[in-house]
């Protein structure tokens, strides 16, 4: 018992070990009472604590939970591009776990927003894995700094809700490594989440819970994960196969621990594997012990509400602001229209649904701050058709206002965990009302509330300003007032592209799949990686967002720091007379590559707060991975030698400076064979010398002379050298043999 506070696994009976690998009930680990190991509580997540009141049962009532601070869901928080703020949100959630004696909070969820129709896009961070990983890591670090654990989920490839429990996501190794795994990888390597939750779906034919490649080879052997893996709720369909694959914990329990016992006895489970899985559970309990022993801890509801407000402020993205209609003047005659101003939509539906500690709507905030405004709901938040009386009332207050502030968005029933959306349109009755109001009064500013992307063009057509407010959590009202009245400049940037039409999305050809599977045919070309590479028009690009302040970026410099690494620096200046924040973004654009690569990819960002007139230098390091792609041929990351352009900008479509760097490459190579093409021989350093020898032999007549014109050179370059006889007859056979012999001699 030396290094473990609780007995180590060798002091447990087989039955006790088996019991540790499933939960005690829907929200508790299964302790081993006889050995003094407690069964701590674990619960949702991810943007606040959803501690079910139905404890000690197997119920999963989604709406009956202990009040907790409702922070902005990831759809909002991801737009902050502020890892430090996100870390503070994590710290606050960790404190709430300590008070509520919850050992692990089930989040964050870092699956890629492959398609905006995905039902859980509101819970996920981005279409970009670098951004998702570098933001969500703050939640993990923040929560865990309080002595409680996180559960990074859903590992991996839960990118749609349609058929989510069964669907087979067929994804290339390259797309997995470059798009669907890196957010997990970054967080595992930098923050060691205590737990990971596997996804429901299959990946390339194997359920995640039973996927040895995923849970053991990649997660533990390659990335060095030290924690435990639990199943998503009901995702474990074969206890024995899952345990062998590397799943420590089945949640909720299926009361089948005897299966583990039998399998360990008859050799279907290696005793060492059971020990590893069970020991992981003891270690988890051990890590949580100190925080779970704290008595009478009380977090500050007020302070956490304030953190939620600050987070909400940075979650909003100003998409349009013609004639600087925003910020509003407090003494202006304002008409507020839209039920969302009174009944905010502040979080998504499903397992993440939180009972907030407080709730302040925008209208409440106006009243609290003594700001006068007329209000009309304009529409109802259900899916019923337009209500003429409500519309008439709204038009009446709009008529004589200086500014009309319209709150539009998606009602709760339109998006949730459990189903995908059919389109990205706002309800027709809201758009109809907007058009009518804009006819009455052209000074319209729209605030949008939606978890996943909506089509903004029909809104922007009738509004001078559009503020995408996503879902803002419980303090959205005051946060909105701060931004709309200019107490703070908006500083959010889009974590996902707003497309011109959902039909433009690269995954639409394979969405949401058929007959139990979905092919990720777009490969690595997800979101802006597709739109930017193929020059497609979008409504608002990835990384975009306006401020009341204006900024200039200058003195961009890129220096090599190693064979395949670089440092980027730039000076950003607030050239306006209002305070604000700018996010400098670094994209890497590869030159000529052996594989089809996106035209550029985000590899660094830094948000900087600048007072009016202030300047700061930002410095970002690009490691080797920033330039690499996953090679299926090598089964490894590859950095090719050559030129790469490092771009510095403020969105994926607004690059202010580009610098070319020449990298040495990683020097990885594979032996040439008769199946290597003539072009591959030419490109290889040893192969090139052999080709030179071939050419010399052609000149002196000992081998056939290769045709010497551009067309034929290209033709021959594409042929494996064992095909040369087809073109050159028996002499071609001699040529192939000569090349292989020369190569063997040179590489001995
Ligand atoms: C969700 C998870 C959640 C779990 C427990 C599942 O249906 O996919 O995200 O943590 O339920 O509520």
For residue range 676-725, what is the model confidence (pLDDT) as tens digits?
999 999 999 999 999 999 999 999 999 988 888 889 889 999 999 999 99
Q: Is the CB of 120 under 6 A from ligand 1?
A: no
Residue closest by Cα to atom 3 of ligand 1: 351
- How far, in Å, are 72, 84, 311, 582, 608 from residue 80 at the CA level? 11, 10, 8, 11, 11
Whether residue 606 contacts residue 621, with contact meaning beta carbons closer than 8 Å, is answered with: no
pLDDT of residue 352: 86
Determine whether 577 is an active site residue: no
Report residue 736 as tokens.
């192939």
In 615-679, at which residue ranges do the beta strands (DSSP E only) sit? 615-622, 629-631, 636-638, 642-651, 654-663
pLDDT of residue 302: 98
Angle at 736 between CA 733 and CA 738, to 5 degrees: 110
pLDDT of residue 60: 55
Residue closest by Cα to atom 9 of ligand 1: 351
Query: Given a cut of 90, is residue 161 above it in pLDDT?
Result: yes
pLDDT of residue 2: 43
| Alpha-carbon span 423 to 499, nearest angstrom | 12
Query: Given a cut of 90, is residue 247 above it in pLDDT?
Result: yes
Q: Is the CB of 232 under 6 A from ligand 1?
A: yes
Q: Is the CB of 44 under 6 A from ligand 1?
A: yes
Please state the atom number of ligand 1 nearest to the C-alpha of residue 107.
10
Question: What count of other Cβ atoms lies within 10 Å of the Cβ of residue 744?
Answer: 10
Please state the pTM of the whole predicted model. Answer: 0.97
pLDDT of residue 351: 87
* DSSP at 165: T
Whether residue 71 contacts residue 46, with contact meaning beta carbons closer than 8 Å, is answered with: no
Please state the atom number of ligand 1 nearest to the C-alpha of residue 45.
10
Mutation choice for ligand 1 from 45, 59, 232, CB with most ligand atoms inside 8 A: 232
Question: What pLDDT, in 10s, does the model give residues 271-325?
Answer: 999 999 999 999 999 999 999 999 999 999 999 999 999 999 999 999 999 999 9
pLDDT of residue 54: 67
Where do the H-state alpha helices sit in 388-510?
388-399, 428-440, 457-460, 476-484
Question: What count of other Cβ atoms lies within 10 Å of the Cβ of residue 461?
Answer: 11
For strands 403-409 and 374-376, give the pairing. unpaired
| Per-chain mean pLDDT for the chain | 96
Is the alpha carbon torsion for 291, 132, 46, 93 positive or negative? Answer: positive
CB environment 537-549: b (16+ within 10 A), e (fewer): ebbbbbbbbbbbb
Ligand 1 mean position, distance from CA 233 (Å): 6
Mean pLDDT of 235-248: 98
Whether residue 635 contacts residue 567, with contact meaning beta carbons closer than 8 Å, is answered with: no
Element of type H or E holding 25: strand 23-25
Helices (H) and strands (E) in the chain, counts: 22, 28
Catalytic position from the list 168, 232, 236, 283 = 232
Question: What pLDDT, in 10s, does the model give residues 23-63?
Answer: 999 999 999 999 999 999 999 999 999 998 765 555 556 66
Q: Is the CB of 252 under 6 A from ligand 1?
A: no
Q: Is the CB of 351 under 6 A from ligand 1?
A: yes
Query: Given a cut of 60, is residue 1 above it in pLDDT?
Result: no
Question: What pLDDT, in 10s, does the model give residues 375-421?
Answer: 999 999 998 999 999 999 999 999 999 999 999 999 998 888 999 99
| Alpha-carbon span 389 to 232, nearest angstrom | 47
pLDDT of residue 330: 86
Nearest CA among 487, 514, 244 for reference residue 369: 487
Question: What count of other Cβ atoms lies within 10 Å of the Cβ of residue 718?
Answer: 11
Q: Tell me the three state secondary structure of residue 521.
A: coil
The DSSP line for 235-300 is --S-HHHHHHHT--BBSS--S-HHHHHHHHHTTSS-HHHHHHHHHHHHHHHHHHHHHHT--S----
Question: What count of other Cβ atoms lies within 10 Å of the Cβ of residue 239?
Answer: 24
Q: Is the CB of 106 under 6 A from ligand 1?
A: yes
Residue closest by Cα to atom 12 of ligand 1: 351
Q: CA-based diameter of the chain, in Å?
A: 96
Report residue 40 as tokens.
């701590």
Mutation choice for ligand 1 from 60, 63, 106, 352, CB with most ligand atoms inside 8 A: 106
Where do the H-state alpha helices sit in 347-426?
362-368, 388-399
3-state secondary structure 449-479: ECCCCCCCHHHHCCCCEEEECCCCCCCHHHH
For strands 195-198 and 517-519, give the pairing. unpaired
**Which residues, 6+ apart, have CB-to-CB distance to 202 below 8 Å?**
166, 167, 168, 169, 208
pLDDT of residue 4: 56
Query: Given a cut of 80, is residue 361 above it in pLDDT?
Result: yes
Ligand 1 mean position, distance from CA 86 (Å): 22
Question: What count of other Cβ atoms lies within 10 Å of the Cβ of residue 457?
Answer: 13
Question: What pLDDT, in 10s, does the model give residues 600-620?
Answer: 999 999 999 999 999 999 999
Mean pLDDT of 449-477: 98
Residue closest by Cα to atom 8 of ligand 1: 232
Ligand 1 mean position, distance from CA 379 (Å): 33
Total residue length of the chain: 748
Please state the atom number of ligand 1 nearest to the C-alpha of residue 50.
12
pLDDT of residue 542: 98
Query: Given a cut of 80, is residue 133 above it in pLDDT?
Result: yes
Q: Is the CB of 218 under 6 A from ligand 1?
A: no
């Amino acid at each position: 018992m030396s290094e473990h506070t609780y007995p180590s696994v060798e002091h447990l009976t087989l039955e006790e070990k088996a019991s540790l690998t499933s939960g005690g009930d829907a929200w508790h680990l299964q302790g081993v009472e006889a050995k003094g190991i407690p069964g701590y509580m674990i619960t949702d997540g991810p943007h606040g604590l959803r501690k079910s009141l139905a404890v000690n049962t197997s119920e999963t009532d989604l709406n009956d939970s202990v009040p907790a601070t409702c922070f902005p869901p990831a759809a909002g928080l991801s737009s902050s591009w502020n890892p430090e703020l996100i870390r503070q949100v994590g710290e606050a959630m960790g404190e709430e776990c300590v008070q509520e004696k919850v050992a692990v909070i089930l989040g964050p969820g870092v699956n890629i927003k492959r398609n905006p129709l995905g039902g859980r896009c509101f819970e996920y961070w981005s279409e970009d894995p670098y951004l998702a990983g570098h933001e969500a890591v703050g939640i993990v670090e923040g929560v865990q700094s309080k002595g409680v654990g996180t559960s990074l989920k859903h590992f991996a490839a839960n990118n749609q809700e349609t058929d989510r429990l069964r669907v087979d996501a067929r994804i290339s190794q390259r797309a997995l490594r470059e798009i669907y795994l890196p957010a997990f990888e970054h967080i595992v390597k930098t923050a060691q989440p205590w737990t990971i939750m596997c996804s429901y779906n299959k990946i390339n034919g194997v359920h995640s819970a039973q996927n040895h490649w995923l849970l053991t080879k990649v997660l533990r052997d390659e990335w060095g994960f030290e924690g435990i893996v639990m199943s998503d709720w009901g995702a474990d369909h074969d206890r024995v196969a899952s345990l062998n694959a590397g799943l420590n914990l089945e949640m909720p329990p299926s009361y089948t621990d005897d299966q583990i016992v039998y399998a360990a006895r008859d050799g279907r489970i290696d005793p060492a594997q059971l020990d590893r899985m069970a020991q992981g559970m003891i270690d988890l309990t051990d890590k949580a012990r100190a925080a779970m022993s704290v008595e009478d801890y009380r977090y500050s509801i007020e302070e956490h509400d304030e953190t939620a407000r600050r987070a909400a402020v940075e979650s909003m993205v100003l998409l349009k602001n013609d004639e600087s209609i925003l910020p509003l003047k407090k003494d202006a005659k304002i008409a507020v229209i839209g039920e969302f101003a009174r009944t905010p939509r502040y979080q998504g539906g499903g397992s993440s649904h939180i009972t907030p500690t407080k709730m302040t709507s925008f209208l409440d905030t106006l009243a609290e701050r003594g700001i006068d405004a007329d209000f009309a709901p304009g529409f109802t938040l259900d899916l019923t058709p337009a209500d003429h009386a409500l519309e008439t009332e709204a038009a009446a207050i709009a008529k004589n206002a200086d500014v009309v502030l319209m709150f539009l968005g998606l009602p709760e029933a339109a998006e949730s965990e459990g189903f995908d959306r059919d389109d990205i349109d706002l309800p027709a009755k809201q758009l109809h009302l907007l058009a009518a109001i804009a006819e009455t009064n052209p000074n319209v500013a729209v605030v949008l509330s939606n978890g996943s992307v909506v089509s903004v063009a029909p809104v922007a057509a009738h509004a001078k300003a559009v503020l995408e407010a996503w879902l803002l959590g419980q303090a959205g009202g005051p946060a909105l007032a701060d931004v709309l009245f200019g107490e703070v400049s908006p500083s959010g940037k889009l974590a996902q592209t707003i497309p011109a039409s959902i039909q433009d999305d690269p995954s639409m050809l394979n969405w949401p799949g058929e007959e139990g599977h979905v092919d990720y045919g777009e490969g690595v070309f997800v979101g802006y990686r597709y739109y930017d590479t193929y020059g497609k028009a979008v409504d608002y690009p990835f990384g975009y967002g306006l401020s009341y302040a204006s900024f200039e970026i200058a003195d961009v410099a890129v220096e090599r720091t190693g064979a395949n690494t670089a440092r980027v620096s730039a000076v950003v200046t607030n050239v306006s007379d209002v305070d604000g924040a700018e996010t400098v973004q670094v994209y890497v654009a590869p030159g000529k590559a052996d594989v089809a690569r996106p035209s550029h990819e985000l590899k660094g960002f830094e948000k900087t707060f600048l007072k009016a007139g202030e300047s700061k230098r930002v410095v970002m390091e690009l490691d080797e991975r920033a330039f690499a792609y996953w090679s299926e041929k090598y089964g490894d990351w590859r950095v090719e030698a050559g030129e790469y352009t490092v771009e510095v900008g403020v969105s994926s479509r607004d690059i202010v400076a580009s610098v070319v760097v020449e990298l040495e490459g990683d020097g990885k190579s594979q032996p040439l064979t008769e199946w290597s093409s003539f072009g591959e021989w030419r490109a290889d350093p040893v192969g090139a010398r052999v080709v030179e020898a071939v050419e010399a032999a052609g000149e002196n007549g000992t081998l056939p002379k290769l045709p010497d014109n551009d067309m034929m050179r290209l033709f021959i370059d594409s042929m494996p050298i064992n095909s040369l006889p087809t073109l050159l007859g028996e002499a071609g056979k001699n040529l192939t043999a000569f090349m292989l012999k020369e190569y063997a001699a040179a590489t001995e």
